[in-house]
Amino acid sequence: METAEIGGTPKGGVKRLTLTDLDRQVRDWFIDAAKAAGCSISIDEMGNIFATRPGRDNSLAPVACGSHLDTQPTGGKFDGILGVLAGLELIRTLNDVGYETEAPIMVVNWTNEEGSRFAPAMVSSGVYAGAFDLDYAYGRTDREGERLGDALAAIGYRGEDPVGQQKIGSFFELHIEQGPILEAEETTIGVVTGAQGTRWYDVTIVGRESHAGTTPMALRRDALAGAAELILAVERIAKEQSPPGVGTVGEVTIAEPSRNVVPGSVRLTVDMRHPAADALAAMDRQMREALTEIGTRRSLDVDADEIWYSSPLEFDPDCVGLVRAAAERQGLSHQDIVSGAGHDACYLARVLPTAMVFVPCRDGISHNEVEHAELEHCAAGANVLMHAVLARANAPAAG
C-alpha cells in the first residue's frame, strides 16, 4: 500500500510508467529498503536493480527472485511489484530469524517489463537473456519519440555494469495470475509450468484522405474501415483457436484525424497468443492473409511488422517441483497452470533454471485500477516463494 502511493490514481490504481520520475521514486524506495535489510546493490546498463543478501558461500551464483516496479497506464497495486516486495519480505524474514543460506539470495527489479511506454515488453530481461542487444533496447521510442536509453539516463538509472555481468543461478517469480482460473477453482497457488507464446505486430493501413461529404462510398479508400475489418478478423481467428488462443487490438491511431475527412492512414497494434507454437503460427498466417485480402479488396496499402515474438516455453522441472513441494508442505491448495501473460521469467528461462508462483486476483482482473489480491493469498504466495528459494539456495549445487 505504501508503494502504491507512488503514482496512485483517484480510482485506487497506479500509473507508474517505466523510466518516468515516478519510476525513479519507487526505485529509490526499493533500494533504500533493500539496503536497510543488509543487501548490496548493483545496477546494470539497462537499469535492472540487483539487491543481494550474502550467503555462506558467495562464490555460488545467487538464487534470485523478483519481478518489476513499472505499471500500465491504468495499472493496479499488485501486478509486478508483488514479486519484488515478496522478495524483500523474504530477506527481512531471514534476517529476523538469523537464517543463513548456503548461496546468496537476490531480489531483482527488471526495467520496462510492461512495454506500455517502450515496446516490446520485458525488454531488459530480454537483453539479459540475449534475445535483444543493448543498442536495440536503447533505441526503443515512446509516442513522443524519446529513446529508452535517454529516458534511462534522465532518471539516473543507466548503470555501469554490463548486462549479464551479474550472474544468477536460478530465478523464481511470484505474480498475481492476471486471469480467472485460480479464483474459479478456489485454488490458492498456481504452480506455473510454462507460458504461452506471444506475437506482437505494428500494422499500418494506408488509403487516401478525401472529403467526407463529396466522396461517393464506392470510390473511398477508407483506411479506418479496413482497420475495422482487421479488428474483427483478429477476433474471429482467436475465437477459432479458443480456448486457449487469444487475440487483441489494443491501440488504433488515425493519422491527422478530422470528423469530415475519410481517414487515409491508420496504425494499429495486434497481440496474438497461444501455448502451442503450431497454433500460434496458424494464427499469424491467417491474420496476414486477412490483412492482404482486406487491402486488395479495398485498394489499401497494408503492412504487418512483427515487432516481437516470444515462443511458448516450459519452465525448469526441478524449480517447478520445488514450488509444488513448497505448496504441499504448507498444506495449500494448488494446481498446475500455464501463464497466459508474458513475464520476465519467460526470457530468463531461456538461459537459467526458472519457475513462477501464481496467486489469485479478484475476478481475474489485471492491467486495471480495480486489480486486487487478498492479503492471505499474497502471504501464501510469499511463503511458497520463500521455501522454494531456500530449498534451491541450500541444495548441494546451490543456484
* Average confidence (pLDDT) over 350-376: 97
For 3-196+312-393, CATH number out of 3.40.630.10, 3.30.200.20, 2.60.40.420, 3.40.640.10 equals 3.40.630.10
What would the DSSP string read from start to end of 49-79? EEEEE--S-TTSPPEEEEE-----TTB-SST
- How far apart CA 31 and CA 40 sit, in angstroms, is 9
* Paired sense of beta strands 301-310 and 197-206, if any: antiparallel
Instruction: Report pLDDT for 238.
Output: 98
- Helices 81-97 and 21-36: crossing angle, nearest 10°? 10
The terminus-to-terminus CA distance of the chain in angstroms comes to 32
Nearby residues of 155 by Cβ (< 8 Å), 6 or more positions away: 19, 20, 21, 23, 24, 27
- Residues 1-32 have pLDDT tens digits of 999 999 999 999 999 999 999 999 999 999 99
* Average confidence (pLDDT) over 356-362: 98
Burial 38-53 (b: 16+ CB within 10 A, else e): ebeebbbbbbbbbbbb
Tell me the domain boundaries of the chain.
Answer: 3-196+312-393, 197-310
Q: In the predicted model, is pLDDT for residue 382 greater than 60?
A: yes
Q: In the predicted model, is pLDDT for residue 396 greater than 70?
A: no
- How far apart CA 189 and CA 176 sit, in angstroms, is 10
- Residues 57-93 have pLDDT tens digits of 999 999 999 999 999 999 999 999 999 999 999 999 9
Instruction: Report pLDDT for 397.
Output: 53
Q: What average pLDDT does the chain have?
A: 96
Cell of 1: 500500500
Residue with cell 482487421: 230
Is residue 297 helix, strand or coil?
helix
Instruction: Report pLDDT for 241.
Output: 96
Cell of 303: 503492412
- Cα–Cα distances (Å) from 336 to 86, 146, 314, 323, in that order, read 21, 41, 12, 10
CA dihedral 354, 15, 76, 350 (to 10 degrees): -10
Of all residues in the chain, what percent carry a pLDDT higher than 70? 99
Instruction: Report pLDDT for 286.
Output: 98
Instruction: Report pLDDT for 341.
Output: 86
Q: In the predicted model, is pLDDT for residue 395 greater than 90?
A: no
Q: In the chain, where does DSSP find H-type helix?
A: 21-36, 81-97, 123-128, 134-138, 148-154, 181-184, 223-240, 277-298, 317-329, 344-348, 375-393
* CA 380 and chain centroid, separation: 22
pTM: 0.83
Tell which residue, 355, 362, 357, has the closest CA to residue 330.
Answer: 357
Half-sphere exposure of 353 toward its Cβ, with a 13 Å CA cutoff?
20
What would the DSSP string read from start to end of 242-254? TTT-EEE---EEE
Is residue 269 helix, strand or coil?
strand
Tell which residue, 249, 271, 93, has the closest CA to residue 199.
Answer: 271
* Average confidence (pLDDT) over 35-58: 98
What would the DSSP string read from start to end of 175-212? EE-SSSHHHHTT-SEEEEEEE-EEEEEEEEEE---EET
Residue with cell 515516478: 22
Q: In the predicted model, is pLDDT for residue 398 greater than 70?
A: no
Instruction: Report pLDDT for 246.
Output: 96
Is residue 9 helix, strand or coil?
coil
Cell of 80: 509486478
- Fold classification of 197-310 (topology level): Alpha-Beta Plaits (3.30.70)
Q: In the predicted model, is pLDDT for residue 159 greater than 90?
A: yes
Instruction: Report pLDDT for 81.
Output: 97
- Residues 242-255 have pLDDT tens digits of 989 999 999 999 99
Beta-ladder partners of 71: none
Instruction: Report pLDDT for 253.
Output: 97
Instruction: Report pLDDT for 88.
Output: 98
